[in-house]
Structure 1
Amino acid sequence: MAPDVSCIFLAVLLSASCEVITSADQMCIEIPDTLPNTTEFLEFGFYFLPTIQDITFSRLINLTFLDLTRCQINWIHENAFQSHPQLSTLVLTGNPLIFVAETALNGPESLKHLFLIQTGISSLEFIPAYNLKNLESLHLGSNYISSVKFPKDFPTGNLKVLDFQNNAIHYLSREDMDSLRPATYLNLNFNGNDIKGIEPGAFKSMAFQSLNFGGTVDLSVIFGGLHNSTIQSLWLGTYEDIESHHLNSAMFTELCEMSVESMNLQLHYFSNLSSTTFRCFTHLQELDLTACHLKELPSGIKGMTSLKKLILSVNKFTQLCQINAASFPSLTHLYIKGNTNKLELGAGCLEKLENLQKLDLSHNGIDASDCCNLQLKTLPQLQSLNLSYNQPLGLQNEAFKVCPRLELLDLAFTRLHVIAEQSPFQNLDLLQVLNLSHCLLDASNEHLLAGLPNLRHLNLQGNHFKDGNIPKINLFQMVGSLEILVLSSCDLSSIDPEAFHSLGNMTYIDLSHNNLTSSSINALNQFKGTYLNLAANSIRIIPPQVLPILSQQKVINLSHNPLDCTCSNIHFLTWYKENVQKLKDFVEIRCATPPSLQGVQLSDVTLSCGITAVGIFFLIIFLFLSAALLIYAVKFFLRWKYQHI
């Protein structure tokens, strides 16, 4: 990790000037003297540095990361980095390289990551192979490379990432791929090249962590060329601006001759989809069919017992049963979100998925008058359920009784009708995260959260409390284990001082975008070391007795409040300058009054609130007149008393 002095290099560079040689342009040949010698991490991008010589960065012998993005570098001379044995990452992205010396990278014994994106390279022979024996990632995207054949002496044995995206590679030969055989479980990216041919046997017996052929028009070319290869993740998706060939059953027969764990086919069309289409999918563990224009999956699919994760988002289903879930009995993760048609949940459509742990049904227009036991029955292992951004759902008592192992429940932006007087979340003893933001709930229902003994994170953003007040008796008494509470945009104007007395584990509370004043801060008295967000409220004056509550918090956000910057608020203004280190977004903590200081940052405000000479004069006159009046009153009283003896 870089020492502290290296953290100031950006600020130093802003004021730095380069040594100049006689030329029409200024060229940096050495880095500024003000840059510390101990710098390890240097981002030098967008400076004008047409050549790199052996003296350019020679003083920075501790460099481990060097970013020279878009420095207009044309020439990299011999031994340019000889003084940097610890350099592990070199970024040359966006430089129009004309010449790189064969020994340019002599020196960095630990160079692991080299970025040559958008450098105009057309041949891999351009890259100096000397001293790259430890190279783990090579990024060559957006160039003019047409062949992936490396020079004979180029060390590829330690490569883990090789990125050729957006080049001009259209054909892969056996000879090309032979140069990559020393690399095992490589992440190889051909995205955006539109491969049109692969020589038979080119990938034979090769094993990849991932292979990306995104944007390829004819996938039959890809399947036909990957015989006898082993691939953990095969990305074959396309993009909306590319017209791809329709996929048919015959095309997928080649999958039987290769080993693939995860496959992505997003945005492709299927012709004559049937159960035989999936005949060679039996070894897949993950399948992504996002936006494949599917209206249903065929029944009778056999052998897909290994599939754990299925993504069917942005398709055209009308009912959940149309996915024929029984064909995938081992699923643990199912994503069907953003469906283009309104999706009906039906009854028991997922009842064969006894191992399902995560279910995402968000953004589908789902509505149900009685949710969700009938629709989600026989999902005893479900841990995460997302029903956010749907149509109104009616929740009865114990609405999720069939999913007792839920740990996360997201219902954000789905209007909820709580039909029963008791909590719809009872029996969810393991639930830790509950998102009820913008559900138009009556948050004054003190029984709403009953039955959640382990709830840690609660989001009630955008819901409403009666009369804008959180009373002493409220729904939070049921969830004493809470650590994170979000109550932003709830139209709150007041909080009872004892409203949060049952919450002893809080680490974060968000009360932003309400109408709270400083009087509500008293309700936070028991919190210590929390992240307290009071941004965008109606706080004007913070009295002295409230300041100790703020002092005991870890981080406080008071931005966008109409703060008073007169002597009436002098105690807070003084406290602010003493505690600015714990104030979040302090640049937006500004004065609203008086008009002369409106919009001024509190850090720029200096008030003199002592008594002036004129004030002292009038005070003396006032005291003198008061004393004279008192003496006169005493004399008048004694005279009156004497006359009435």
Structure 2
Amino acid sequence: MTNQEITNVHELIASTNPSNLQTAFAKLQAAPHSKTVLTYLFILSFFHPDEAVRNQAKPLFKVRAPIGFYANATKELFFAKIVPKSGIPSVFVFTALLEKMHKHGVLDVKVLGVHLIDFWVQSWEFCWKHRAVDAMKLLRRVQKGKSLQLAGSIKAIPEEIWQLTELESLTIINRNLGYISEDIAQLKNLKYLNIQSKLAKFPVGITQLHQLAELKLFINNDQFFGTVPSEVAQLTQLKELTFTSLSGSFPVNFCRITSLERIDLGYSNFEDFPEEVTQLNHLNTLKLNFNENLQLSGLFSKLHKISSLKNLDLSFCKLNTLPDEVALLDQVEKLNIAGCHLRSLPTHIEDMVSLKYLDISHNHFEQLPKVVHKLPRLEQVKTDQGVIDIQQG
């Protein structure tokens, strides 16, 4: 059976028409034994989304497969293990299982790649690694509209990705990835970029993405944030910035992006912002949760100068005490200090005259602090017992 004949059978099965399905299996049953047919039956037996198709293919696969390989495949490839109840399989699971099966030397890697990718895009990494499918065709198959999510574990991603100039959203999840080409600058229409990796250096090409509105950087490398260039100021459309695991100084060059409206720095451990943070005159939301090293006195005096700041999250920062300088934040409307080991609130918090919502849950308050009733615009307080509506006299 030729590759084209397998493709024809594949199209019959993909139609989901019962008559076509019957014709396809008749062709497979009549086909002479070959690596091509065996590989396609392997795909149908263990990876087809329809259980009825899997059950129909397995007897044919069993007859043609080497005994040891069949036993190993049935032991390793449980559909429930490959595809969880959520219906969203893991690329990492796919890659590991396919590599294990490939090592037996029984399967045709080209046939495996060409047809498996039609059922599960999570097989992309295996397909690319073994050059089973043309890289551009592979990326087009994984791409959804103008969005692409590329999760994997290989140390380099297909350079063809930078040719997808129509992309508006790109997510790269790869703990082993240490480098991204400056050619990322070719993605001129990109509005959303999410990189989770161990990059050693900030890709300067990102600074050329002038349509970028949201940037997320989850980088497991202490040196990375020290390489943020001053050219990031060119990202004049950037509204949201998220990054974690910052343990050194805050990258001062991010303060040059004056269009920023929301910054999420959760799970970082830097001590303070540089004075340049006051340049962020459009910033309305700042998340600093789970940071145990913040120096709040210096922080509050700087944030006070950002009149646009309305929402501040300091939850689970292990503050123990909230300094009086919190009163400087008279522009903040929503303050989250949940889980900070607090036992009291400073008297001067009443000077936060714009505050409407306060979260003090998961602390050590024996009762609602009386000072909250002195906050002139406070509407709600969240405690361990739930949200309390505050009635102003």
The TM tier, using the shorter chain, reads 0.5 to 0.7
Change (3 A) 1:473 1:511: closer
Distance in 2, Cα, partners of 1:494 & 1:271: 54
- 1:215 is displaced (CA, Å) by 6.0
1: distance between equivalents of 2:162 and 2:387? 57
The structure showing larger relative contact order (alpha-carbon pairs under 8 Å, at least 6 residues apart) is 2
Query: What's the CA shift for 1:510?
Result: 1.0
- Structure 1 match to 2:3: none
Correspondence list, 1:116-195, <5 A: 172-174=17-19, 191-193=49-51, 195=53
Query: AA paired with 1:331?
Result: L
Other structure's SS at 1:335 match: strand
Match of 1:367 in 2: 200
SS at match of 1:518: coil
Alignment of structure 1 residues 310-321 onto 2, 5 Å? 310-318=148-156
How far the C-alpha of 1:491 sits from its partner, in A, is 3.3
Q: Aligned equivalents of 1:336 and 1:274: distance in 2?
A: 20
Secondary structure in structure 2 of the residue aligned to 1:336: strand
Q: For 1:405-424, what aligned pairs fall within 5 Å after superposition?
A: 405-418=237-250, 423-424=252-253
Residue 399 to residue 523, structure 1, CA distance change in 2 (3 Å): farther
Change (3 A) 1:512 1:173: same
1:404 is aligned to 236
User: CA 1:483/1:175 → structure 2, altered by over 3 Å: closer, same or farther?
Assistant: same
Deviations 1:349-394 (A, max 9, x none): 41211111211112x22233xx45x252422212221112522121
Q: Does 1:381 align with 2:211?
A: yes
Find out whether 1:454 has 2:282 as its counterpart.
yes
- Which has more helix, going by share of residues? 2
Report what 1:477 is aligned to.
304
Question: Secondary structure of the residue that 1:266 maps to in structure 2?
Answer: helix
Preserved CA contact (<8 Å) 2:361 2:382: yes
* 1:319-338 CA distance string (max 9 Å, x none): x6x5333332222222111x
C-alpha deviations, 1:61-94, integer Å up to 9, x for none? xxxxxxxxxxxxxxxxxxxxxxxxxxxxxxxxxx
In 1, are the aligned partners of 2:304 and 2:331 still within 8 Å (CA)? no
C-alpha displacement of 1:278: 5.3
| Paired residues for 1:519-538 under 5 Å | 519-520=345-346, 522-527=348-353, 530-538=356-364
RMSD of Structure 2 on Structure 1 (CA): 4.5
For 1:539 and 1:428, how far apart are their aligned partners in 2? Answer: 39
Q: 1:173 and 1:486, CA in 2 relative to 1: closer, same or farther beyond 3 A?
A: same
The residue matched to 2:162 in structure 1 has which SS?
Answer: helix
Q: CA deviation at 1:266?
A: 0.6
SS at match of 2:122: coil
Q: After superposition, what is the alpha-carbon deviation per residue over 1:219-277, rounded to whole angstroms, capped at 9, x for unaligned?
A: xxxxxxxxxxxxxxxx999965976866627975999xxxx9xx851136327855972
Q: TM-score, normalised by structure 1?
A: 0.40
Give 3-state SS (helix, strand or coil) of 1:410's partner: strand
Q: Which residue of 2 aligns with 1:426?
A: 255
Secondary structure class of the residue paired with 2:304: helix
Please give the alpha-carbon distance, in whole angstroms, between the structure 1 residues aligned to 2:278 and 2:109: 51
Runs of at least 5 residues in structure 1 that lack an aligned partner in the other structure: 1-168, 178-189, 199-213, 217-234, 289-306, 561-579, 585-645
Q: 5 Å matches for 1:450-599?
A: 450-464=278-292, 469-470=296-297, 474-506=301-333, 508-520=334-346, 522-527=348-353, 530-539=356-365, 544=370, 546-549=371-374, 552-559=377-384, 582=388
Which of 256, 265, 268 is matched with 2:121 structurally?
A: 265
Say which SS state the counterpart of residue 283 (structure 2) adopts.
coil
1:531-569 deviation line (CA, Å, top 9, x unaligned): 31112334457675x142368533323339xxxxxxxxx
Alignment of 1:177-326 (within 5 A): 191-193=49-51, 195=53, 240=94, 248=110, 252=114, 264-267=120-123, 269-270=126-127, 274=131, 277=134, 284=140, 287=143, 308-318=146-156, 322-326=158-162
Matching residue within 150, 163, 178 for 1:344: 178
1:457·1:483 contact (CA, 8 Å) conserved in 2? Answer: yes
The 8 Å contact of residues 233 and 256 in structure 2, kept in 1 or not, is answered as yes
Q: Which amino acid aligns with 1:394?
A: G
Native 8 Å contact 1:395 1:424 kept in 2: no
Task: Note the alpha carbon deviations across 1:393-412, whole angstroms, 9 max, x for none.
Answer: 21567462243321221112
Letter in 1 for 2:243: L
Superposed displacement of residue 462, structure 1: 2.8
Counterpart of 1:378, as a letter, is Q
1:463: Cα distance to partner?
2.8
Say whether 1:442 aligns with 2:271: yes
Tell me the distance in 2 between the aligned counterparts of 1:441 and 1:407: 22
Q: Deviations over 1:565-618 (max 9, x none)?
A: xxxxxxxxxxxxxxx86179xxxxxxxxxxxxxxxxxxxxxxxxxxxxxxxxxx
Q: How many residues align?
A: 312
Secondary structure, counterpart of 1:492 in structure 2: coil
- Letter in structure 1 aligned against 2:363: N
What is aligned with 1:50? Answer: none
**Greater fraction strand:** 1
Specify whether residues 348 and 462 from structure 1 end up closer, same or farther in structure 2 by C-alpha distance, changes over 3 A only: same
Aligned equivalent of 2:39 = none
Q: Is the 8 A contact 1:395 1:417 kept in 2?
A: no
Whether contact under 8 Å (1:253, 1:280) holds in the other structure is no
Q: Sort the Cα spacing of 1:345 and 1:558 in 2 relative to 1 into closer, same or farther, 3 A.
A: same
Contact kept in structure 2, 1:404 and 1:428, CA below 8 Å:
yes
Q: Partner amino acid for 1:277?
A: D
| 2:190 corresponding residue in structure 1 | 356
> Which amino acid letter does the alignment assign opposite residue 160 of structure 2?
N
Contact kept in structure 2, 1:497 and 1:524, CA below 8 Å: no
With 427-436 and 395-404 compared, the bigger mean Cα shift is at 395-404
Deviation at 1:520, TM superposition (A): 1.9
What is residue 613 of structure 1 aligned with on the other side? Answer: none
CA distance in 1, matches of 2:310, 2:143: 36
Q: Once the 2 structures are TM-superposed, how far is the Cα of residue 309 of structure 1 from its aligned partner?
A: 2.1
Give the match's secondary structure for 1:499.
helix
Aligned partner letter, 1:323: E
Q: 1:430 to 1:237 in 2, by over 3 A?
A: same
Distance in structure 1 (CA, Å) of the matches to 2:228 and 2:163:
31
Report what 2:9 is aligned to.
none
Question: What SS is found at the alignment partner of 1:326?
Answer: helix
